[in-house]
């Protein structure tokens, strides 16, 4: 068991060829300069996957990422400036195309900090890779020259710090001695890393497939509540990825002027989605079908006015009781009140504004 763990760790850490040292410094630096969340999440995950797949030195990459993360805090204004120049400057058409392109739209290229961090990470990673790579080559040459002095080599090799350093940088002391390190050649692809990435991608896809409906329901309900200004209830959301269809059940949009009634109530709303636009980080709805739409229905429980935490002014939490009866629509089915065009136009314009903002 211990032998298996040691061999796995040795494989994951990798042999320290100059190319692998450069990859470790480059990927670690990119990871360190990217924002932790938000716009840097997707490119960060991609870099971690590359670090696992490519036969780079993971331990060295971790050290570089930790150091550059601290450095990125001090260089945050510079990263913001670089990102603004690239996004809003002469390269704006290129950055706009990348920010709206398939797959690249998820890379956070619309963020000043993310773009500037990638540039600083690239420069820092290349410089560190050259410096560390040369240092490792010189260390190898020094250790190889000491092999002629047997006692000196034994004394150095017996030290714990030496064993730890050679384990991190070289994957351990080779049987042929330190001079054999120069002849080491590692595979550019780490088989165990490929297996780990495949498993992680499978788990992520399974999670999105299983829980996308519930996540979409919570997000849709919170966003519609914010846009409507009062309670919006969403019973369930089902996303059928194969059919390119989303289904919203038991939608109730509370009327902000009368919290005891719904501005709109629908049993089922079905939308046909363009899945190609999902790769561009946008949602395109081709057709919407509404089943059992009702207006001005009495709510089971009164709604609540949504208060934006950013607003200083306090909003009223009770409806206006002096609304004239003729301006409110009676309960019933949608087709029974199409004759009240003016009232319906007001209602639909309110809903349209909310959909446009969403």
- pLDDT for 124 beyond 90: yes
What pLDDT, on the 0 to 100 scale, is given for residue 160?
Answer: 74
What pLDDT, on the 0 to 100 scale, is given for residue 78?
Answer: 94
Q: How far apart are CA 74 and CA 67, in angstroms?
A: 12
What pLDDT band is residue 99 in, cutting at 50, 70 and 90? confident
Instruction: Flag the least confident range among 193-197, 261-265, 287-291.
Output: 287-291
Element holding 264 (H helix, E strand):
strand 258-273
Backbone φ and ψ for 246, nearest 5 degrees, come out as -125, 140
Q: Work out the average pLDDT over 261-279.
A: 80
Q: Work out the average pLDDT over 224-252.
A: 84
Backbone φ and ψ for 283, nearest 5 degrees, come out as -115, 125
> Is residue 148 packed enough to be buried (19+ CB in 10 Å), middle (13-18) or exposed (0-12)?
exposed
Say what angle helices 58-74 and 2-13 make with each other, to 10 degrees: 50
Q: Which residue has the tokens 């001079």?
A: 179
What percent of the chain is predicted at pLDDT more than 70? 68
What pLDDT band is residue 244 in, cutting at 50, 70 and 90? confident
**CA dist 100 → 88, 97, 156, 273, 334 (Å):** 15, 5, 56, 18, 39
| pLDDT tens string 131-151 | 988 887 777 677 667 665 666
Backbone φ and ψ for 293, nearest 5 degrees, come out as -85, 130
Instruction: Flag the least confident range among 49-53, 338-342, 354-358.
Output: 354-358
Q: Which of 23-32, 159-168, 214-223, 330-339 has the highest mean pLDDT?
A: 23-32
- pLDDT for 117 beyond 80: yes
What pLDDT, on the 0 to 100 scale, is given for residue 198?
Answer: 93
Taking the chain, what is the end-to-end CA distance rounded to the nearest angstrom?
54
| 233: its two tokens | 């209830």
Which one has a higher pLDDT value, 284 or 202?
A: 202
What percent of the chain is predicted at pLDDT more than 90? 17
CA torsion, points 342, 348, 352, 354, in degrees to nearest 10? 120
- pLDDT for 123 beyond 80: yes
What pLDDT, on the 0 to 100 scale, is given for residue 65?
Answer: 92
| 77: its two tokens | 């204004």
Q: How far apart are CA 86 and CA 82, in angstroms?
A: 6
Reported pTM: 0.64
- The residues, ordered by sequence, that sit 6+ positions from 107 with a Cβ below 8 Å of its Cβ are 42, 43, 46, 98, 114
| pLDDT tens string 147-188 | 656 666 666 666 777 667 666 655 555 555 555 555 566 667
| 130: its two tokens | 């050259």
For the chain, the average pLDDT equals 76
What pLDDT, on the 0 to 100 scale, is given for residue 86?
Answer: 92
**CA dist 200 → 46, 189, 205 (Å):** 12, 17, 9
- pLDDT for 4 beyond 70: no
| 217: its two tokens | 């329901």
């Amino acid at each position: 068991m211990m032998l298996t763990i040691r061999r796995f760790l040795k494989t994951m850490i990798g042999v320290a060829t100059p190319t692998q040292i450069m990859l470790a410094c480059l990927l670690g630096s990119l990871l360190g300069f990217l924002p932790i969340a938000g716009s840097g999440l997707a490119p960060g995950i991609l870099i971690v996957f590359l670090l696992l797949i490519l036969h780079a030195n993971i331990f060295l990459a971790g050290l570089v990422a930790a150091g550059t993360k601290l450095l990125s805090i001090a260089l945050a204004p510079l990263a913001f400036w670089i990102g603004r120049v690239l996004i809003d400057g002469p390269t704006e058409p290129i950055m706009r195309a990348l920010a709206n392109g398939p797959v690249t739209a998820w890379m956070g290229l619309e963020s000043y900090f993310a773009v500037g961090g990638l540039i600083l990470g690239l420069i820092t990673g290349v410089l560190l890779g050259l410096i560390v790579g040369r240092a490792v080559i010189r260390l190898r040459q020094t250790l190889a020259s000491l092999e002629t002095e047997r006692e000196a080599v034994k004394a150095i090799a017996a030290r714990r710090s030496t064993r730890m350093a050679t384990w991190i940088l070289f994957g351990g002391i080779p049987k042929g001695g330190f001079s054999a390190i120069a002849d080491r050649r590692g595979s550019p692809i780490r088989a165990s890393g490929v297996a780990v990435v495949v498993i992680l991608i499978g788990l992520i896809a399974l999670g999105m497939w299983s829980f996308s409906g519930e996540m979409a329901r919570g997000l849709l309900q919170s966003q519609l509540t914010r846009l409507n200004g009062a309670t919006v209830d969403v019973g369930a959301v089902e996303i059928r990825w194969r059919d390119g269809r989303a289904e919203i059940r038991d939608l109730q949009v509370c009327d902000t002027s009368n919290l005891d009634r719904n501005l709109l109530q629908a049993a089922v709303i079905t939308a046909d989605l363009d899945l190609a636009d999902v790769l561009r980080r946008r949602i395109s709805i081709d057709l919407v079908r509404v089943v059992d739409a009702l207006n001005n229905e009495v709510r089971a429980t009164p709604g609540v006015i949504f208060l934006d935490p950013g607003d200083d002014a306090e909003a009223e939490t009770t409806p206006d009781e002096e609304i004239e009866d003729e301006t409110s629509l009676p309960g019933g089915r949608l087709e029974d009140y199409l004759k009240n065009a003016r009232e319906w136009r007001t209602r639909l314009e309110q809903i349209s504004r909310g959909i446009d903002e969403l």
